[in-house]
Structure 1
Amino acid sequence: MPISQSAMARSLTRGRNFRSVSPAQPAVADRGTSRIGQGRSQAMIESLETRTHLSVSKDAAGFTVVTPENGSRVIYVSALGKDTNTGLSSTSPIKSISKGISLLRSGTGDQLLFKRGETFSGNFGIWSKSGHSASEPLVIGSYGTGSRAVINTGASYGLAIGSKNPVNNLYIQGIKLIGDGVAVADGIAVAGTINNMFMEDVEITKYVNNIVLQKYFGPVTNITVRRSIITDAFSRSSRNSQGLFAEGVAGLTLEENVFDHNGWGNGKSATVYYHNAYVRSTTSGLVARGNVFSNGSSHGLQARGGGIIENNVFINNATGLSFGLVNGSPVTPGGVTGRVVNNVFVDTHNIGGNPRGVAMEIGNVKRGGTLISGNVIANGDPLAKLPAITLAVGSGNDNASQAVGINDLTISNNVVYNWSIGFWVNAGMAPGTGQKALNNLNVSNNHFQNIATYNAIIRSSMAGSYSNNFFTTKVLNKAATNPGGIRKTITYVDASRTPGKSVGGTNQTYVSLARTLGKSAWNVSYLAKTIVDYMKAGFTAK
């Protein structure tokens, strides 16, 4: 049966504040859960037949469908079921999570399905069962119609992977994991060896950390979080709190999710340490596409290892995006690369009375070509005196000598509208090598419009190429110095557009609607890509 709350808490919380975990303080202990169900009578279960691959496909709305073939065991769980039932049909469901786990066979394409619209109590313990292959995964999912099946884990963790035994090809779909808002527990906590973990149409809420992906016992590879709702994580203790935390992951995809109001709440104030999604520099292969990152305690997304960041909407974060830049921990040795294209950044908030309001901060970019293009950045705090885009040098890096500064970076065709400052290069950056290097920077064809200060562009050295940047400032009684700038007011199709206006309300109205997205309530009007297209059309020059 699932591990107890006290045992799970002992194994998962020792030494964990999102720093390196020492061998003396393991993140998750191996409790031998692979023995779950041993000794139980299997007379009611049919034998495994000759295996054919499951069909992993997409339905008309783009949700993943895993169709079981002969030989795969499908186990149905209902709040109205009985553990004396076989569980092999929706008309004979079992009742408890523990019974369902005991009937799953590792290394198969078995499925454990919970009835939609119903609520279950308990958790999945420390998980050790795998699917057969990438095309034949083991599935924790749902059946029927209606809202996601709710798994109320109380004071316990939802699902932990911490065994030294590898877990492969695990799909989690169509369920909601909810903590009690009191205990120090995480939602999905990975600290063991896992490959190919896929989460879709999952809602995770009210844990200290809703999702933790941390290399400890072995590699953590090929993780996807898709079309899921990750909200309202907050710390009940001195532990740091994140919507998602990823350390040492090789291959992380975040697609069409909603990350909202993570890291603070229930009496806990916002701090600079808590984020909607915190991806450390040791994680590689990040793709963040089509997500909503809103109301984060500090950052909407810290992409410290670089990657592909496109078609996302950032709303009311203290800082929208950190790309490559690291403060307080090691940088990616030799720098990062990738692209930040076609995103929307609107609104900001301060932290503890201290001004915040940077849309994107960029640092430690290596040679090879990184692109920042097609982004709309609008309506920040004009009193914050902070830039929409800043090129920065990290602080407190354990390996600062392995940082490379900014190299081969192109910033083009972006719109910055109604912000305090448009673009800023931090002091001390200049051509050369090392942490403060600035080589082959191209800033061109950007719009810096309705800027609150008299300088739309502030740079500390003459390095870089600046051309065809159109700017207007609110302060006209001083001589503005804007390299490569052309003073010109751009008339847009509709510069009054906001994400909220797309749904007839405020930006927070839109966020509330986006939080309702799911397979049972799919509405393309609330997708981040829809908002990006809407905003970019409004900020198209006439």
Structure 2
Amino acid sequence: MHKTLATLLMFALLVVTGVAQGQEITIKVTPENTVHVTQGFETEEVSNIDGLADDQGDARMTVLFPEQKPAVYELESEEDYLLITDGYLPAGGEILLQATVDHTGDPVPAFEHVIRGGDWLIDAKYMEQLPLGEVTISATLRTPGRNDAVASHPFYILEPGVIDPDSDTDWFDWEGQTPADTPFTPGEGFVEFEPAADARIYYVSATGSDSNDGLSQARPLRTAKAAYSKLRNGSSDWILFKAGEVFDGGFGTWTKSGASAEAPLHVGVYGEGDRPIIHTNGGEFWKAWGSVSNIRMEGIHAFANKRLGTSKDQLAWGEYGVFLFGKGENFFFQDCKFEGFKFNLAFQGYSEGSIRNLMVYRCIVNNAFGHWDHEVAGHSSGVFLKSVANAEFVECTFDRNGWNPQVSGANRTKFNHNMYIQYNSDNVNVRQSIITRGASHGLQLRCGGDIVENLFVRNALACFVQLDPSNIVDNVIIESDDIDDKEIRGQGITVNPTEEALVSNNIVTRKAGRAGWMTGIQTAWTSDVSKIPTYNVSIHDNIVWNWWMNEPNLPIKTREGNVTRYNNTIDGVVSETGQRVVYKDPTVGFDGYIDGGFSEFLRQAVQRRRGEWNPEVSAAAFNAYMRDGFTPAVSTAQNF
């Protein structure tokens, strides 16, 4: 293994998030002490920092960020960490390096040291002093007569032997995998599971005791951690929580894998009643790092109960409902509910394809929220995927993720979403799901994939695709709205540069946002996918109704690439031919579908009990109702 790991840490000015892998960032400090960060063609003012400007003019510094955030260090690897920069320290400047343990906030005294000039190397002898798990390394630039500037970066410290020693640049080789067989058929009910013959089943009850063996309902354990401690790594063991009860505390850090995709470690429910609720009390429900595979969960409700307070400390608690940072395969979630975390579901691979085969079926993912101040909580999403291959989300409900109007500071922003899928994932499909009231986007599918038969309601921007071949087909999009009074929006479907994309048979109706330039359907250009100079898009048989714009009768905009359009109707007019279509009832909506309208429809979807499924409260059923209203009542008439 190479002795110096070329993972680079920004050390001088501030932390910048959301940076593409290996992207070059220019940090510019003006004489007015305003810091700007340039990423490609965009420049954003980040903050004001007193005392850092060079009196003789601009001070410039170029930094290559780590490929991964968090970064990873394997103990006993004898690897140094090299801080690389194209720039200079101010006269007399030095960098103080410190580390803290994330879950306790305790410092690691043996790590602390100062570096001055030279190669700015964090010697392996210091890295080896870090404890296993999550730590944060901070770098403080100290200069005589000037304010300190602090940057920090999260790290995972791994056990020896975790990282592939034969890999120089990519830790894990992955040749594209074929999708795993989907174990369910939409609309056909829940999948039933049986334990393997050699599985041990551990029962957990709120009235149990961790001194019990947990091997029968008569001798249940009390906590998730106690049950986890008894699981055998590489086995097909089960943990079952008693239905209808409330439990304190999640599993903590999870490092065990199941025997196989067919015989995974299983977390589920026993007895009659609704989902057992796990109050995480400021921690995570299920958090794994390193190599973990073959995990299945069904019927569990994980709730970040302490984050509903208003103090900054409370908002910082419970970042993840389910979180895997590392590699692994075969994860299946059915009929679960995750709510109130900063990220309800987050899977982040070491490198492209290092996490494979994620299935999420009939789950409820709602009320993830962060805070506008990064020092408090920062960005959030209901789902976040990075470097994940072969992911399916089917018949799920994603509601009000990225914000919470009942919590001060957890307001809607353009950085928070219902679903945020990074560009370095692959083969991600979202089908027949309800996606409502996201802080900004309903679904950012940055890697491309299939968005089929979903219902999007009151997201500021419903969905977009880019990069890989994509299909946006048979969706209904209603009332795309504003983020807030300043960030006005109202976007339906966007296709950024892709190899090819199909946009067909969608209904996009009743725009609520105030941005007159926001379209119902558009192709657009974005600099972060410039490696695809042209792209092919077919847009046909879509209905756009009452989606006003500053440009009359132009809610479908195509500006880039090779775009084919035909048989799209805008307010009852076929845009390509000028022919008129009269619909059966284009005013159809929730009020005519269910007593109580949208609020009642959403209440039933979010509060659905374990094991129950009302086909009328589903994306498929409501979309069929909308499509019936937009059925032509008479044949296409003459041209205008």
Q: TM-score, normalised by structure 1?
A: 0.78
Q: How does 1:474-513 map to 2 (within 5 A)?
A: 484-488=576-580, 490-513=581-604
Q: Per the alignment, do residues 223 and 7 of structure 1 end up closer, same or farther by CA in structure 2, a change over 3 Å counting?
A: farther
The question of whether the paired residues in 2 share the 8 Å contact of 1:382 and 1:419 is answered with: no
Q: Does residue 360 of the first structure (1) align with residue 485 of the second (2)?
A: no
2:202 is paired with a residue of what secondary structure? Answer: strand
- Quick check: 1:234 aligned with 2:369? yes
Rate the CA distance shift 1:510–1:318 in 2: closer, same or farther, 3 A.
Answer: same
Kindly provide the CA deviation profile for residues 386-410 of structure 1, in whole angstroms up to 9, marking residues without a partner as x: 2100111114x2x63x133331x21
> In 2, are the aligned partners of 1:307 and 1:338 still within 8 Å (CA)?
yes
Alignment partner for residue 360 of structure 2, among 211, 220, 225? Answer: 225
Q: What is the CA RMSD across the aligned residues, in angstroms?
A: 2.7
CA gap of 1:341–1:426, structure 2 versus 1, over 3 A, is closer
Q: What SS does the corresponding residue of 2:521 show, helix, strand or coil?
A: strand
Residue 476 of structure 1: aligned partner: none
8 A contact 1:243–1:275 mirrored in 2: yes
**Which amino acid letter does the alignment assign opposite residue 174 of structure 1?**
G
- Of 479, 501, 519, which aligns to 1:347? 479
* Counterpart Cα distance in 1 of 2:323 and 2:225: 19
Alignment of structure 1 residues 309-324 onto 2, 5 Å:
309-324=451-466
Which residue of the partner structure matches residue 418 of structure 1? 546
Indicate conservation of the 8 Å contact 1:113/1:140, yes or no: yes
For the 8 Å contact 1:222–1:250, the answer to whether it is kept is yes
The residue number in structure 1 matching 2:388 is 249
Aligned 1:231-380 pairs, distance under 5 A: 231-236=366-371, 237-238=373-374, 239-265=378-404, 266-267=407-408, 268-324=410-466, 335-353=467-485, 354-367=487-500, 370-380=501-511
Instruction: Provide the residue aligned with 2:257 in structure 1.
Output: 130
1:14 and 1:374, CA in 2 relative to 1: closer, same or farther beyond 3 A?
farther
**Could you list the runs of 5+ residues in structure 2 that have no partner in the other structure?**
1-100, 108-130, 139-151, 163-182, 308-313, 634-640
Matches within 5 A, 1:48-197: 62-163=189-290, 166-179=291-304, 180-181=306-307, 182-184=314-316, 185-197=319-331
Question: What residue identity is the alignment partner of 1:444?
Answer: Y
**In 1: Cα distance, 2:253 partner to 2:617 partner:** 35
Letter of the aligned partner of 2:272 in structure 1? Answer: T
Alpha-carbon separation, structure 1, partners of 2:155 and 2:297: 22
Over 3 Å counting, the alpha-carbon distance change for 1:215 and 1:159 in structure 2 is same
By how many angstroms is 1:64 displaced?
2.0
* More displaced stretch, 415-424 vs 226-235: 415-424
Kindly tell me: are residues 7 and 503 of structure 1, through their superposed partners in 2, closer, same or farther at Cα, counting changes over 3 Å? Answer: farther
Match of 2:610 among 514, 519, 538: 519
Which deviates further from its counterpart, 492-501 or 176-185? 492-501
Residue aligned with 2:255, SS: coil
Percentage of matched positions with identical amino acids = 28
> What is the identity, as a one-letter code, of the residue corresponding to 1:188?
V
Query: 1:445 — aligned with what?
Result: 567
Query: In structure 2, what is the Cα distance between the partners aligned to 1:313 and 1:58?
Result: 19
Contact 2:583–2:632 under 8 Å retained in 1: yes
Post-superposition CA distance 1:71-94 (Å, at most 9, x none) = 110111001112233311222212
In structure 2, relative to structure 1, the CA distance for the partners of 1:250 and 1:503 (3 Å cut) is same
1:189 positional shift: 1.3
Aligned residues of 2:323 and 2:345 also touching (Cα < 8 A): yes
**1:422-457 CA deviation, whole Å, 9 max, x = no partner?**
544365x3xxxxxxxx22x2111111116xxxxxxx
1:486 partner SS: coil
The one-character-per-residue Cα deviations of 1:44-80 (angstroms, maximum 9, x if unpaired) are xxxxxxxxxxxx8899962122201321101110011
SS in structure 2 of the partner of residue 293 of structure 1:
strand
Tell me the secondary structure at the aligned position of residue 155 of structure 1. Answer: coil
Mapped contact 1:199–1:225 kept (Cα < 8 A):
yes
- Name stretches of at least 5 consecutive residues in structure 1 with no aligned partner: 17-23, 35-55, 325-334, 430-437, 451-469, 472-481
Amino acid at match of 1:406: Y
Distance 1:57 1:424, change over 3 A: closer
1:521 positional shift: 3.1
- The AA in structure 1 aligned to 2:280 is T
Give the conservation status (yes or no) of the 8 Å contact 2:460–2:513.
no
- Of residues 202, 205, 214, the one that matches 2:339 is 205
How many residue pairs were aligned?
Answer: 452
> Secondary structure at 1:93's aligned position in 2?
coil
User: How far apart are 1:518 and its partner, in Å?
Assistant: 4.2
* Contact 1:31/1:126, CA 8 A, preserved across alignment: no
Give, in angstroms, the shift of residue 14 of structure 1: 4.2
Distance 1:57 1:419, change over 3 A: closer
Q: Structure 1 residue 279: deviation in Å?
A: 0.5
Q: CA deviation at 1:7?
A: 7.2
CA distance in 1, matches of 2:556, 2:257: 49
Contact 2:358 2:392 in 1 (8 A): yes
Q: 1:59 to 1:119 in 2, by over 3 A?
A: farther
- Spell out, residue by residue over 1:154-195, the C-alpha distance to the aligned partner (whole angstroms, 9 max, x if none): 1111111112xx211100111111112124221111111111
**Higher Cα radius of gyration:** 2
Q: TM-score, normalised by structure 2?
A: 0.66
